[in-house]
Chains A and B, each alone.
Chain A
């Protein structure tokens, strides 16, 4: 009887049977209750995962055939996923008699702490009596004020009114406990999401252009100064020599021009501050600025350039503001939410056809890739205290940084387009806020996050009927060995997260996060402080570059990407982390060969020079001969030595035919066809060779070999069986010609069968069927 049947059995018994039945009836209601909750949780998980798998299969098909999946259908799937979670919640409410509006009865910082510590610290009022309340008998006088035995002394709270000392991990401080301080993630300063002033934006985003403009203005000012001096000297000269009709009038006129243009020059001068100039130049400028004049086009053109510069700076400032608002950290701060990326723990489900990572990748590899390469990933947002779904598994990471590309309220069916790119919606910060801040009960949403920075590693827990957090259920066995195994499984995940330098966290079903402290042998989890979205947004996140590079280098050696271009991108990312030019990060010949070894047959994106390199292709053909031939350069495919080498490898026929992917004209070559037949590769021999006596004879010989009746006769002497003889050949246009009748009516063929298998007699009846009779 499996667990589901046991529950069914236990709950469907008639009351009068309950005393007789074992073992289900011997279980207490609490045990049955817990088992029901565990089973319900599993059913909902399986339901959601299966739905997700089938949807992904459909999406893969749609993507490969250029079709589209109706968004309404996807939305409906999301709705029923949520309904499943609601049904689970309803069950919890019904069997635990918990009010649906009331949150689980635990106090954030003290969950699972001994009750006397909680009560003493919070001075909580005692619960009001109800029908479940059992009033304890009064404590006899002699037991009061008795000193505790020595072994209890250490754990006894001091007498009233001094508050009891709290265990270290529960000390209420404003600082996070050691576990979070132990984070290997990088310290950072979170930028304020404000619009920069035009001047600041110009300095920040257009520094080079600004410098150039400042230089041009300075040059122009110098020129003007020289013009002034020259002009002044001309005027002075004119006045002194009385060459002018009215020298004074002329002087006044020039004076006005000086004044107007000086004002203009000053205005320009003020906009580009003298901070760009050297101290001496700045002083020089200040002294002479009021004297500047010019009616030249240069100043006008500079003025236009300056206006354009500041318009551009304004636009960049706005763009920067929006980009900053779309960062994970700012989104967390504005919406008081977490953004998480979950891992599937079931190996076979973790990397499907949509993934760009090989199925060989372990959970640890997945973590390494995430932490080192910071790839574009799919995430979901949850608000603490809300019923928000998450995709898949019960472990994951909480992001503290990154750039959000977009959001969809349901599954967006996003696909990787490399390591640092992912398909999906592109949304504004306003649209992101609308989805992330949504507190209503809902299934998971999907946000694509680029350059994700991990804050911590979390494991989901359930809350049992008594309000305690459970890291594993006791469903399916409460024996010491079973419990130890589940605890070990729980701790394996936590240890892995810890090894990777991530602070360990616990996530409750209502999406609150707590520091993980410990788990006892019964699966009860002890936690520390509650972690807020603000702490995540401002805390350490993302590994330091040096550590990322170290892990990244190890990731590269494992050749875990399904496409060689992603492998190359990984190398580029690691090169950048080492301060090198990413463009120079080419894969070496040895690296291509190692990739081919680890990923047999995945040569699609290999550079052409490798696919044409006979030595290289011969070397790697041992890993997947047929695929190597399929993807070889056209000229190499014509190389008879290469073909013979491929045929010589023992795994040749596991994945298909070499002959089928030969160039069409080569297929018509009699000697090549004979070579293929001799190597048992004769399922698609060119039909044009059907009349070649040599090819026909070779085909007959091979089919005679293949039709060994010893393989399909096993009964009595005298038994007759029909031999299913079949032969087809291919045409140029990919068609098939059935030549079975011609083969059967060929007396030489029947004669060879009888000659080769003397214990049988082969005959052809009037319906062109071959009968074989087992002889004595």
Chain B
């Protein structure tokens, strides 16, 4: 197999991993955001109950 083919396969793998890292990061950020929202919601409810 030529170096060129290795290069293409490696590039493809790297692109895929970069895409997956981005996706992973987005999902984890999303999880974090959702937790923040839940937390805020909880605080709001607490305040409401105290009013």
- Footprint of B on A, CB under 8 Å? 7-8, 10-13, 15, 18, 29, 32-33, 36, 40, 43-44, 47, 50-51, 54-55, 58, 61-62, 65-70, 73, 76-77, 80, 83-84, 87-88, 90-91, 94-95, 97
Contacts and interface: CB of A to CB of B under 8 A. Distances in A.
20 contacts: A11-B3, A29-B1, A33-B1, A36-B10, A40-B13, A47-B20, A50-B24, A51-B28, A58-B32, A62-B35, A65-B35, A67-B38, A68-B38, A70-B34, A73-B27, A73-B34, A77-B24, A77-B28, A90-B16, A91-B9
Contacts of B7: 11-12
Q: Which of B11, B23, B27 has the most CB of A within 10 A?
A: B27
Interface string B1-30: 101111101111100110011011001101
Nearest to B41: A67
A11 B10 contact: yes
Contacts of B12: 90-91, 94
Nearest to A67: B38
Interface SS of chain A: helix
Contacts of B30: 70, 73
Contacts of B31: 55, 58, 69-70, 73
Contacts of B23: 76, 80
Contacts of B42: 65-67
Q: Which of A15, A51, A65 has the most CB of B within 10 A?
A: A51
Nearest to B10: A11
A32 B5 CA distance: 12
Nearest to A40: B13
A67 B13 contact: no
A43 B32 CA distance: 24
A669 to B, nearest CB: 33
B44 interface: no
Given A47-B17, A84-B16, 18 more contacts: A11-B3, A11-B11, A15-B3, A15-B4, A29-B1, A29-B6, A40-B13, A51-B24, A55-B31, A65-B35, A65-B39, A65-B42, A67-B39, A88-B13, A90-B12, A91-B12, A95-B10, A97-B1
A7 B1 contact: no
Contacts of B32: 58
A58 B28 contact: yes
Interface of B: 1, 3-7, 9-13, 16-17, 20-21, 23-24, 27-28, 30-32, 34-35, 38-39, 42
B9 A76 contact: no
Contact of A47 (B6, B21, B34, B35): B21
B10 A69 contact: no
A452 B7 CA distance: 46
B38 to A, nearest CB: 5
B4 A80 contact: no
A94 B9 contact: yes
Nearest to B22: A80
A91 B10 CA distance: 7
Q: Which of B11, B17, B38, B42 has the most CB of A within 10 A?
A: B17
A32 B20 contact: no
Nearest to A95: B9
Contacts of A33: 1, 6
Contacts of A70: 30-31, 34
A18 B27 CA distance: 41
A54 B42 CA distance: 23
Contacts of B1: 29, 33, 95, 97
Contacts of A73: 27, 30-31, 34
Contacts of A29: 1, 3, 6
Given A47-B20, A91-B13, A94-B12, A13 B35 contact: no
Given A69-B34, A73-B30, A80 B24 contact: yes
Given A87-B16, A91-B10, A55 B28 contact: yes
Closest 7 CB pairs of A and B: A11-B7, A94-B9, A87-B16, A91-B13, A67-B38, A11-B10, A54-B28
B14 to A, nearest CB: 8
A47 B28 CA distance: 13
B51 to A, nearest CB: 19
Contact of A80 (B5, B6, B27, B34): B27
B35 A84 contact: no
A94 B7 CA distance: 11
Contacts of B9: 36, 91, 94-95
Nearest to B38: A67
A22 to B, nearest CB: 15
Contacts of A77: 24, 27-28
A51 B26 CA distance: 11
Contacts of A83: 16, 20
A18 B4 CA distance: 11
B42 to A, nearest CB: 8
A65 B9 CA distance: 45
Nearest to B7: A11
A87 B20 contact: yes
Nearest to A7: B10
A8 B14 CA distance: 10
Contacts of A50: 24
A43 B14 CA distance: 9
B10 to A, nearest CB: 5
Nearest to B23: A80
A77 B48 CA distance: 35
Nearest to A8: B10
B28 A61 contact: no
